[in-house]
Structure 1
């Protein structure tokens, strides 16, 4: 009889759960308490699961910090002035302040594994490269400091006026990293337009830009300065807000140049915005006289006023 009782109270342990046989029925056994039971994540206040990257944190903040550290060129910008109170709600709303809190409490990037991340599954209906690039730029503009507080009409006007500038800056940065590959793509674009009037200015712009060796942060600030240019966009309702944002961006660019021991690069980068205006004007004229412009994506036609 004692053997039967002992057998009925035997515990079966599996990989994911523990089961206990009682009274002829198999029931789940209560979860064992861990050494972190009752502890809270020092980042967001959620239930902690252990020490991750030198800090007692939850699984959510652990995964967030790993993604930010392992993804290259990840840029997070707070839309609320960088003063978000980090809790279970705001941790999903503001990645910039969440990362700031992770760093403040002591998370260490060197503790993150350098293993290659898993490849994401391709979407069933992939978007065309042109539309994907435009939507990516739109999301960047929306994240810029103060941009989402502008009137919708002003936002649209600023984006339409700066799309070509942002494209040239991105291409110039790619040229600085890989001149041969980027120039092949540029040659294809110029050849498709069947007009070499813009050929020499573009090549000169790329060469001089590459000579300055700008960082990705500098490129991002230049794109933002191109967006916040009230004098170029027609019909801006609140030009003062746009100008105030541009002043902040200019100061930020100057700070980055000094920090990176490139103070002489700052005035040269600002002057490149003037060169961009010429390229923008020349490129827009070419598109307006392009006979095949009606074959372009409708979103691009609207951005470049080709309707």
Structure 2
């Protein structure tokens, strides 16, 4: 078998280059599916470094994905990929359904045509809904999810406000206090992409200090570490090691409890206590 036709991930026969590296159709589809679903895997051995070859490539998806990154497969190429023209209408319908789930319909309106309370409510609802469908967080019981969300909802909210589908900086400038305006600006300056948002949210949500049992403490810790490793690999794959440190500092900054009071104050400014409490107290 010619070297040029060997998959750099598992060693199987390759039809050519996919997403920046020579790989087989199986590894190409696995990589595309993992990136599009923003999947977070756990190593079956708990240590990483599992063998990835033709016979064992399906054993450990975590190590297989890391191998994909190692050989140079590019997640950005998946994000920018466009399907065949005949499938674009179907893709458009799928994206429309997703936009409803994530409250992205606001993208087609400007902040001036919507009350600030409506926009902030959309962001808050999107945060809670997105947390519920986070693949890693959703594996925990509803009781455990609620316990964590009661403590970290404002961190997810700030991350989403800074990266909302429309520019709502005018609302933040008008309604937020100085400390909240500053953290939103710093978070926005990071210019995180969808994969980074997903991984950062997973690290926010999977906090072991809010675990309800020893078993869940370990599970949350393992999940958070997996997301951390994935973020590190993704940053290196972007050839920007400094960015990994910046993202971690940005994540740490979000956890300051003073920002919860600031977010609550902003909601009181635009809609009174009822709007925010309606969502948070129902967790």
Q: TM-score interval w.r.t. the shorter chain?
A: 0.5 to 0.7
**More helix as a share of residues:** 2
TM-score scaled by length of structure 1: 0.50
- CA–CA separation in structure 1 for the residues paired with 2:23 and 2:154: 46
TM-score scaled by length of structure 2: 0.53
The match for 2:136 is 143
The question of whether the paired residues in 1 share the 8 Å contact of 2:208 and 2:218 is answered with no
1:78 aligns with 2:41: yes
Deviations 1:198-255 (A, max 9, x none): 45543233234446x4655776565344324455x5x823375378559958986899
- CA–CA separation in structure 2 for the residues paired with 1:276 and 1:246: 25
Deviations 1:135-188 (A, max 9, x none): 433333x437xx84x6653234223432332121122245xxx9x82314657x
The match for 1:206 is 184
Q: How does 1:208-287 map to 2 (within 5 A)?
A: 208-210=186-188, 213=190, 215-216=192-193, 222-229=200-207, 233=210, 236-238=212-214, 240-241=217-218, 244=221, 248=225, 259-260=241-242, 270-274=252-256, 275-279=258-262, 281-282=264-265
Q: Secondary structure at the match of 1:122?
A: helix
- CA–CA separation in structure 2 for the residues paired with 1:40 and 1:265: 36
- CA–CA separation in structure 1 for the residues paired with 2:149 and 2:200: 14
1:182 aligns with 2:168: yes
Higher-Rg member (1/2)? 1
1:169 aligns with 2:153: no
The match for 2:145 is 155
- Closer, same or farther: CA 250–102 of 1 in aligned 2, 3 Å: closer
The match for 1:63 is 29
Unpaired stretches in structure 2, ≥5 consecutive residues: 104-121
- Closer, same or farther: CA 85–134 of 1 in aligned 2, 3 Å: farther
1:305 aligns with 2:281: yes
- Closer, same or farther: CA 243–280 of 1 in aligned 2, 3 Å: farther
The question of whether the paired residues in 1 share the 8 Å contact of 2:199 and 2:228 is answered with no
Partner of residue 98 from structure 1, selected from 29, 40, 64: 64
The match for 1:27 is none
1:122 aligns with 2:105: no
- Closer, same or farther: CA 199–151 of 1 in aligned 2, 3 Å: same
The match for 1:289 is 273
The question of whether the paired residues in 2 share the 8 Å contact of 1:78 and 1:96 is answered with yes
- Give 1:265 shift: 8.2
The question of whether the paired residues in 2 share the 8 Å contact of 1:49 and 1:56 is answered with yes
- Closer, same or farther: CA 268–101 of 1 in aligned 2, 3 Å: closer
* Structure with more relative contact order (C-alpha pairs < 8 Å, separation 6 or more): 2
- Closer, same or farther: CA 278–249 of 1 in aligned 2, 3 Å: farther
Q: How does 1:41-60 map to 2 (within 5 A)?
A: 43=9, 48=13, 50-53=15-18, 55=22, 57=24, 59-60=25-26
Over aligned residues, Cα RMSD in angstroms? 5.5
Unpaired stretches in structure 1, ≥5 consecutive residues: 1-34, 191-195, 295-300
- Give 1:122 shift: 0.6
- CA–CA separation in structure 2 for the residues paired with 1:292 and 1:56: 49
- Give 1:79 shift: 2.3
